[in-house]
Amino acid sequence: MIKLVPFKDKEENYELMHRWCSQEFIYEWFEQRILSLDEIRHKYKTKLNLMEQNLFFIHYNGERIGYVQIYKYKNEMYGDLSNYKNIYELDLFIGEEKYLSKGIGTVILNFITDYIYDAYSADCIVLRPFKRNIRAIKCYQKCNYNIIDEYDGVDSLGRPERYTVLRNTKNI
């Protein structure tokens, strides 16, 4: 069973995010470097205070195994999204290595996709992973996200990176 639990301003939450984001299989795609606990605390307190993103821990069978942030899509220049009025974007990861490569990511993404359509009345959801993140892109495609564009950008360290834009539209 999957459940999304809101991220709260608690020290134990910052410590868990620090532990997860210190693992190479996370920071390679999410931060591109290990952040200190103080940096994690500052980053997520700022996100909570700005209230531009909704932050959740992903619970799987009662255990916190990952993280997702959901937010209104603001960069409509990628791909053909002109037919959509309420577009959302998300970033997620599984932080517990023992749950990787078991098909759980697909189950989680399908759950979160349905959640966004229901809770936010979205008509489109966009994902923008690094193009070289083949594992994630394959998972997204299994969940009916289709590649609609690519673009050149920079990662969180300012290094050049190619991004893939995927879109999911609710079947009505």
pLDDT level of residue 172 (50, 70, 90 thresholds) = very low
- pTM surpassing 0.85? yes
Nearest to 126 by CA among 86, 85, 167, 75: 167
pLDDT above 90 for 171: no
| pLDDT at position 99 | 95
What are the residue boundaries of the structural domains of the chain, listed by start? 2-168
Determine what percent of the chain is predicted with pLDDT higher than 70: 98
For residue 98, report the phi and psi dihedrals to the nearest 5 degrees.
Answer: -65, -15
Query: Do residues 57 and 66 make contact, with C-beta atoms less than 8 angstroms apart?
Result: yes
Separation of alpha carbons 134 and 107, rounded Å: 18
Tens-place pLDDT, residues 11-21: 999 999 999 99
Task: Tell me how far apart the terminal alpha carbons of the chain are, to the nearest angstrom.
Answer: 25
CATH class as words, domain 2-168: alpha beta
pLDDT level of residue 112 (50, 70, 90 thresholds) = very high
pLDDT above 80 for 42: yes
Tens-place pLDDT, residues 3-12: 999 999 999 9
